[in-house]
Amino acid sequence: MRQRTIAEPYKIKMVEPIKMTTRAEREGLMKEAGFNTFLLKSEDVYIDLLTDSGTSAMSDRQWAGMFLGDEAYAGSRNFYHLEAAVREVYGFRHTVPTHQGRAAEHITSQLRVKPGQFVPMNMYFTTTREHAERAGGVFFDCIIDEAHDPQSKHPFKGNVDLAKLQKLVDEKGAESIAYLSIAPCVNMAGGQPLSMANLREVAAWAKKYRLSIIFDATRALENAYFIQQREKGYAAKSVREILREMMSYGEGCTMSSKKDNLVNIGGFLATNNEDFFVKAKEMVVVFEGLHTYGGLAGRDMEAVARGIEEMVDDAYIASRVRQVEYLGSRLLEAGVPIVEPIGGHAVFLDAKRFLPDMPQDHFPSQALAAALYVDSGVRSMERGIVSAGRDPKTGEHRRPKLELVRLTIPRRVYTNLHMDVVAESCQALLEERKKIRGLDMVYEPESLRFFQARFEAR
Ligand code: PLI
């Protein structure tokens, strides 16, 4: 039987105009922005695939909730709605709101990492690693090798390699590990999921050594969808049930609500560990705000609470991930090299295969992202040597195997015709790839350099 189309389970009630600039204008704008797409003005962008973070379209129910904000300094009713939603959907008893994910990472790292301890992660994420390192921790990559190979079609490239963890424990002892920081739908690997079977094994292994799993639950829902689609025994389960089971293997999580939770701002730290909760509550007051608002307005917490309830709709998440798959399939048909399997939140161009003659020191992904903007006004993001930063010990560039450009799809924002425009632009660039020039970095911030670094054409 032919596969039937699944349309979005919503219709559009409000629109925001976007405008196309001319190629000559975009050439000037890109140069002015130092060939860094983060430094472009949003109004100069036609289709904005910079990130899926905070770029979702909220529903009418979420917007209605914004008018029910209880803007009290303490004990806002919206906090209790948020706490109840997290308890119900993620299964964690205690919630500490934060203004976004990295604030929850900051608190977690400061409380749970002792200087010199390892923090194993299934691949790094920029802010997560940064906070672990600022607390004196040492990042340890425990993802399976396939994750570093953009052409491996492993269905669960986000899986943890237990042998790598075992080796670390054998050599350094379990007490050298702060906790396991496990991210579903691994962002830097291309939005790749881990399997429930892997998670179960990791949890059993961690228990043996009395180590905790603290999830980076940012895109856990998208991971739940992949488990439903790909893993034996889960086809008949709802994403809601799958997400709840996933989270049951962790002691808690940090969360950027700006992704799965369908809001423009917000995050939280959630846990079943009383002691961690009490300490986190004390710390959030210093850095974010009282523990019942954590840097958010009451209305923002209401939007998060409603977003959490809305996201666990099987029809919604299917249409969300299928749109990403639609763009990826169009690119594959056109022969554009991308990371496979296609991820949950983004399609990643493989800059090493796109620009095979450009050395990594000429920042191929940065150059490709700039060229894409000049071609069509589509904004993407570098995820290669610039994002990887420098080794804190040697000061050398970290040289990731993956040299990628991320085309990140905001939730409920663009139609598949927008995806067609993006695909056509990537195809046109591929045909003219010889014309894409490498870059020199002329300004480099000390940390998280990809956000503000500036470049010039070579
Ligand atoms: O941007 P924050 O502070 O709300 O969240 C930080 C963060 C943590 N973990 C993961 C996996 C992320 O992807 C993440 C933020 N990601 C951004 C901004 C992105 O564009 O992917």
Q: Enter the tokens of residue 158.
A: 């986000």
d(CA 85, CA 309): 7
- Compute the average pLDDT of residues 275-291: 98
CA distance 244 to 183: 15
As a whole number of angstroms, the distance between CA 66 and CA 290 comes to 20
CA-nearest residue, atom 10 of ligand 1: 218
CA 333 to ligand 1 centroid distance, Å: 30
Instruction: Write out pLDDT tens, residues 26-84.
Output: 999 999 999 999 999 999 999 999 999 999 999 999 999 999 999 999 999 999 999 99
Average pLDDT over residues 242-256: 98
Average pLDDT over residues 310-319: 97
Mean of pLDDT values over 384-398? 93
Tell me if 98 CB under 6 Å of ligand 1. Answer: no
Contact 237, 228 (CB under 8 A): yes
In this prediction, residues 359-388 reach a mean pLDDT of 97
Long-range contacts of 20-27 (CB under 8 A, 24+ apart): 20/46, 20/377, 21/46, 21/377, 23/374, 23/375, 26/373, 26/374, 26/377, 27/374
What is the reported pLDDT for 321? Answer: 97
Question: pTM here?
Answer: 0.95
Provide the mean pLDDT of the chain. 97
The pair of three-digit structure tokens given for residue 43, joined into one six-digit string = 């109004």
Give the pLDDT score at 125.
93
- Kindly list the structural domains of the chain, giving each domain's residue range(s) and its CATH number in brackets, ordered by start: 23-52+314-457 (3.90.1150.10), 60-311 (3.40.640.10)
| Cα 32 to the center of its chain, rounded Å | 28
| HSE-up (13 A, CA, CB side) for residue 39 | 19
At 6, the pLDDT band (50, 70, 90 cuts) reads confident
Ligand 1 pocket, residue 125 CB under 6 Å = yes
Distance of CA 55 to the CA centre of its chain: 12
Closest among 360, 333, 337 to 347, alpha carbons compared: 337
pLDDT on residue 230: 97
Rounded Cα distance between 263 and 31, Å, is 32
Take residue 223 and report the two structure tokens written for it: 């991971």
Among the listed residues 325, 323, 330, the one whose alpha carbon sits nearest the alpha carbon of residue 420 = 330
Please give the Cα distance from 101 to 167 (Å, whole number): 30
For atom 5 of ligand 1, which residue has the closest CA? Answer: 101
Q: Whose CA is nearest to atom 20 of ligand 1?
A: 51
Quote the CA–CA distance of 141 and 322 in Å, as a whole number: 29
Residues in the chain: 458
Ligand 1: does its nearest atom lie under 6 Å from the Cβ of 100? yes
pLDDT higher than threshold 90 for residue 1: no
Question: Token pair of 90, please?
Answer: 């993620």
Tell me how far the alpha carbon of residue 25 lies from the centroid of ligand 1, in angstroms.
31
> Residue 137: CA atoms inside 13 Å, Cβ hemisphere, count?
31
The protein residue whose alpha carbon is closest to atom 1 in ligand 1 is: 101
- Give dist(CA 159, CA 394) in Å, integer: 29
Residue that wins the pLDDT comparison between 402 and 6: 402
Cβ atoms of 414 and 425 closer than 8 Å: no
Q: If you measure from the C-alpha of residue 125 to the centroid of ligand 1, how many angstroms do you get, rounded to a whole number?
A: 8
Ligand 1 atom nearest to CA at 186: 11
C-beta 124 within 6 A of ligand 1: no
Q: Is the CB of 102 under 6 A from ligand 1?
A: yes
Neighbours of 138 (CB within 10 A): 20
Centre of ligand 1 from the C-alpha of residue 101, in Å = 6
What was the pLDDT predicted at 247? 98
Calpha distance 300→263 (Å, rounded)? 8
DSSP for 347-385, please give it. Answer: EEEEHHHHSTTS-GGG-HHHHHHHHHHHHHSEE-EEESH
What would the pLDDT profile of 92-146 be if each residue is shown by its tens digit? 999 999 999 999 999 999 999 999 999 999 999 999 999 999 999 999 999 999 9
Q: Which atom from ligand 1 is nearest to the alpha carbon of 345?
A: 21
Does the Cβ of 53 fall within 6 Å of ligand 1?
Answer: yes
> Cα separation of 269 and 281, whole Å?
10
CB 184 within 8 A of CB 158: yes
Active-site residue set: 73, 125-126, 216, 259, 383, 450
d(CA 235, CA 229): 6
For 447-452, which contacts have Cβ atoms below 8 Å and span 24 or more sequence positions? 447/130, 447/389, 448/126, 448/127, 448/130, 448/389, 449/386, 449/389, 449/390, 450/36, 450/38, 450/126, 450/381, 450/382, 450/386, 450/387, 450/389, 451/38, 452/36, 452/38, 452/39
Residue with tokens 């799958």: 242
Structure tokens that stand for 256 in this block: 């950027």
Whether residue 127 has its Cβ less than 6 Å from ligand 1: yes
Q: Is the CB of 267 under 6 A from ligand 1?
A: yes
pLDDT tens-digit series, residues 177-204: 999 999 999 999 999 999 999 999 999 9
Q: Which atom of ligand 1 is nearest to the CA of 52?
A: 20
Q: DSSP letter for 67, please.
A: T
Nearest CA, atom 8, ligand 1: 101
Local structure of 160: helix, strand or coil = strand
